[in-house]
Chains A and B, each alone.
Chain A
Amino acid sequence: MRDDRIEAKREADALDEPAEEARELAERLGLEPYPVRYWVVDHDQMNELIAYGGFQRRYPHWRWGMNYERQRKKDRHGLGKAFEIVNNDDPAHAFLQESNAAADQKAVITHVEAHADFFANNEWFGLYADRGEGGPNAAARLERNADRIAAIAKRADVDRDEVERLIDAVSALEDTIDQHSPVDAARSVEEPGIADDVSGDGDDALDAIEARIDDLDLSEEVRRDVFDDEWLEARGEGVEPEEPRPDVLAFLRDHGRRYDPDSGKAVDREPWETTVVDAIREEAYYFAGQKQTKVMNEGWATYWESLMMGGEGFAGEDEFLTYADHMSRVLGSPGLNPYKLGFELWTHVELRAARREVIDKLLRVDGVTPENFHSRIDLDEVATLLEPHPAVAGAGPATLDELADLAADGDPRVDAEAVDRALSARREDGDGASADGEEIDVERYPWKLLTREGLAERHYVLSRPEHRGALRNVSRETLEEQARYLFDVDRYATVAEAIADVDRAAGWERMFEVRESHNDVTFIDAFLTDEFVREGNYFTYEYSRAAEEHRVASVDADDVRKKLLLRFTNFGKPTIVVLDGNFRNRGELLIGHRYNGVALDEERAKATLKRVFELWGRPVNLATIRVEYDDGAVRRAKRRGEEPEGTEVGVRFQYDGGEVTEHDLDESIRERITADEVDYDTKPDDWLA
Chain B
Amino acid sequence: MGLTEDRERFREVGETRRADLAEFISHGDLGGSGADRIRIPIKLVDLPAFEYDQRSAGGVGQGGDGQPQPGQPVDPEPGDGDEAGDPGEEGGDHEYYEMDPEEFARELDEALGLDLEPKGKQVIEEVEGDFTDTARAGPRGTLDVDEFFKRGLKRHLATDFDGAYVREGLFVDGADVDDVFAWARDEGVPVSRAWIADAAATLADERGEPVAALDRWESFEALDDGVDHEPVTHRIRREGLDSVPFRSEDERFRHPEVIEKRERNVVVINVRDASGSMRETKRELVERVFTPMDWYLTGKYDAAEFRYVVHDAEAWEVDREEFFGIQSGGGTRISSAYELVEELLEEYPYSEWNRYVFAAGDSENAGSDTTNNVIPLMESIDANLHAYVETQPGDGAANARHADEVESAFGDADDVAVARVSEPDDVTDAIYEILSTESDGGGSAPAGTTAARRTDGGERR
Contacts and interface: CB of A to CB of B under 8 A. Distances in A.
B9 A65 contact: yes
B321 interface: no
Nearest to A603: B88
A62 B11 CA distance: 8
A321 interface: no
A151 B97 CA distance: 31
A549 interface: yes
Given A336-B77, A687-B70, A608 B48 contact: yes
A173 B51 CA distance: 11
Contact of A553 (B58, B77, B89): B58
Contact of A62 (B9, B56, B74): B9
Given A539-B60, A573-B51, A604-B51, A61 B73 contact: no
B80 A335 contact: yes
A540 interface: yes
B8 A175 contact: no
Interface string A659-689: 0000000000000000000001110100111
Given A542-B58, A564-B60, A598-B52, A603 B87 contact: yes
B1 to A, nearest CB: 8
B57 A680 contact: yes
Nearest to A562: B60
Contacts of B61: 335-336, 538-541, 552
A567 B60 contact: yes
A173 B47 CA distance: 9
B65 A63 contact: no
Nearest to B95: A70
A33 to B, nearest CB: 29
Interface in A46-63: 48, 51-52, 57-58, 60-63
B2 interface: yes
A529 B273 CA distance: 66
A550 interface: yes
A551 B6 contact: no
A627 B48 contact: no
B60 A336 contact: yes
B53 A599 contact: yes
Contacts of A560: 60
Assign chain B's interface to a size class. 35 or more
B51 to A, nearest CB: 5
Contacts of A549: 73
Contacts of A543: 54-56, 58
Nearest to A337: B62
B50 A593 contact: yes
Contacts of A69: 7, 10, 95
Contact of A574 (B48, B50, B77): B50
Contacts of B62: 335-336, 536-539
Given A70-B95, A599-B52, A563 B65 contact: no
A327 interface: no
Interface in B6-25: 6-14
A547 interface: yes
- Secondary structure at the B interface, as helix, strand, loop or mixed, is loop
A61 B52 contact: no
A539 B68 contact: yes
A160 B53 CA distance: 34
Interface string B31-62: 00000000000001101111111111111111
Contacts of A57: 2
Contacts, number: 204
Nearest to B78: A335
Interface in B74-90: 74-80, 84, 87-90
Nearest to A160: B9
B47 A64 contact: no
Contacts of B243: none
Contacts of A576: 50
Assign chain A's interface to a size class. 35 or more
A607 interface: yes
A611 interface: yes
Contacts of A682: 58
Contacts of B95: 69-70, 73
A150 interface: yes
A629 to B, nearest CB: 11
A140 interface: no
B70 to A, nearest CB: 5
Interface in A152-202: 164, 168, 171-176
A563 B52 CA distance: 13
A69 B6 CA distance: 10
A563 B60 contact: yes
A574 B52 contact: yes
A574 B68 CA distance: 29
Contact of B71 (A537, A601, A687): A687
Contact of A688 (B71, B79, B87): B71
B73 A146 contact: no
Contacts of B117: none
Contacts of B12: 62
Contacts of A550: 58, 73-76, 84
A493 interface: no
A173 B56 CA distance: 22
B66 interface: yes
B44 to A, nearest CB: 7
Interface in A550-598: 550-555, 560, 563-564, 566-567, 572-574, 576, 593, 598
Nearest to A51: B3
A602 B53 contact: yes
B35 to A, nearest CB: 19
Nearest to B54: A601
Contacts of B56: 543, 598-599, 627
A519 B60 CA distance: 19
Contacts of A564: 60
Nearest to B96: A73
A470 interface: no
Interface in A627-660: 627
Nearest to B9: A62
A684 B70 contact: yes
Contact of A600 (B50, B84, B90): B50
A486 interface: no
A398 B32 CA distance: 59
Contacts of A61: 6, 9
Nearest to B52: A598
A537 B77 contact: no
Contacts of B69: 552
B5 interface: yes
Contacts of A684: 70
A601 B87 contact: yes
A572 B60 CA distance: 13
Contacts of B54: 543, 601
Given A552-B72, A554-B70, A68 B51 contact: no
A65 B63 contact: no
Contacts of A681: 58
Give the top 8 A-B pairs by smallest Cβ distance, nearest first.
A65-B10, A537-B63, A607-B48, A65-B7, A62-B9, A65-B6, A543-B55, A335-B77
25 contacts: A60-B6, A62-B45, A64-B6, A68-B3, A172-B48, A335-B61, A537-B63, A537-B64, A537-B68, A539-B62, A540-B59, A543-B54, A547-B73, A552-B71, A555-B67, A563-B58, A573-B50, A573-B51, A573-B52, A598-B56, A603-B90, A607-B90, A608-B48, A611-B47, A627-B56
Given A64-B3, A576-B50, 13 more contacts: A60-B9, A335-B62, A534-B67, A539-B62, A543-B54, A550-B73, A552-B61, A552-B74, A598-B52, A602-B53, A604-B90, A607-B90, A689-B71
Interface of A: 48, 51-52, 57-58, 60-66, 68-70, 73, 146, 150, 164, 168, 171-176, 334-336, 534, 536-543, 547, 549-555, 560, 563-564, 566-567, 572-574, 576, 593, 598-605, 607-608, 611, 627, 680-682, 684, 687-689
Interface of B: 2-3, 5-14, 44-45, 47-80, 84, 87-90, 95-96
